[in-house]
Amino acid sequence: MKVWFTGTGAGRPNKHRNVTGAALQLPEPHCAWWLFDAGEATQHQLMKLPLKLSKLEKIFITHLHGDHLYGLPGLLSTRSFDGGVSRLDLYGPIGLKKYIETIFQLTGTTLDYELVIHELAENASDEVVYNGPGFKVEAKPLLHRVSCFGYRITESDAPGRLLTDKLQQLGIEAGPLYGRLKRGETVTLADGRVVTPASVTDGIVPGRIVTVLGDTSPCANALLLARGADLLIHEATFAAGMEAKAHEFGHSTTSEAALAAREAGAKRLLMTHFSGRYSNEELVNLEGEARMVFPNSAAALDLGCYEILRKVSGEERGCPE
């Protein structure tokens, strides 16, 4: 599982970085990817990454500010020209459906695939917005100037390594049954014996948890969404010491993002949504501020790729160029 950033800037594009967007590349056998926010020029950035629009399965919008949304209509339209024919699900705050339908009506845009828009209410009792094969996605409202959501993606647990010696003792030869047991399926042998994955594996490999927050000042829901996450993606619009200005506009500082990661028990923090006042050279200083609070912190970079390892004991690392 990997995360690619199409933009890490706040407000508007600048010479240092594009506006917000992050793509979650799902592990095999899913062969798909999900997009979180689509600021202006997101599809231009995607052309530089090994991600095909035809494989885009879901888009999650955190809120309706332009730096998280203006790239969406063009991207949806281009998907039709890029071989996209499968259904695409779009999630976001109330008003997202009207926004898309109005633009498409005024521009005469039609799609070659089914677009299903799911609008999220801040007071909804059900926080699970998707629960399907391999993954569950939960959403909670955050503290911003407009309706804004954070998302928690939880991967299903998987059976551990197959114990081949035990399989051979049971008379099970390498083949299709191995694959079924590895996928967590219980199998029945020709002689009627039932073999469960738990009886022939070395335990359970916990699924990974990725939390993607929209713009927010510190709040309880951010901590709930980030609880025990393998990776927390948190905005850090301003440097430490600028809390008053950050909160005035519904944002956080580097130290506040790091504190959220520490209090939530997250394993790694990637900061994003940096103000245009900071050059890329200054990101080192912003990282340093965060690491004083939470050592495993880093500033995400445009077009940067970060791998989330499945094993709890593993360390995340950037994927090779």
pLDDT of residue 178: 87
Q: How confident is the model at residue 310 (pLDDT cuts 50, 70, 90)?
A: confident
Catalytic residue status for 165: no
Q: 283-291 vs 254-264: helix axis angle to the nearest 10?
A: 40
Residue that the structure tokens 């991967």 belong to: 155
Long-range contacts of 30-36 (CB under 8 A, 24+ apart): 30/134, 31/55, 32/56, 32/57, 33/57, 34/58, 34/59, 34/60, 34/153, 35/59, 35/60, 35/75, 36/60, 36/62, 36/151, 36/212, 36/233
Q: How far apart are CA 255 and CA 243, in angstroms?
A: 9
89 in a labelled binding site: no
Average pLDDT over residues 240-247: 98
> What are the tokens at 39?
């600021």
Average pLDDT over residues 96-123: 97
Least confident of 164-168, 223-227, 277-281: 164-168
Domain boundaries, the chain: 2-157+206-318, 164-199
63 in a labelled binding site: yes
The mean of the pLDDT values for the chain is: 93
pLDDT of residue 311: 64
Secondary structure element (H or E) that encloses residue 165, with its range: helix 164-169
Answer whether 300's CB lies under 8 Å from 233's CB: yes
Least confident of 71-85, 179-193, 268-282, 290-304: 179-193
Secondary structure element (H or E) that encloses residue 290, with its range: helix 283-291
Q: Which of 37, 67, 230, 302 is catalytic?
A: 67
68 in a labelled binding site: yes
Least confident of 26-30, 71-75, 146-150, 238-242: 26-30
Q: How far apart are CA 182 and CA 185, in angstroms?
A: 7
67 in a labelled binding site: yes
CATH code of 2-157+206-318, in short, is 3.60.15.10
82 in a labelled binding site: no
Secondary structure element (H or E) that encloses residue 26, with its range: none
231-235 and 204-205 strand pairing: unpaired
| pTM of the model as a whole | 0.90
**Which residue(s) pair with 217 in the sheet?**
143
In percent, the amount of the chain with pLDDT more than 70 equals 97
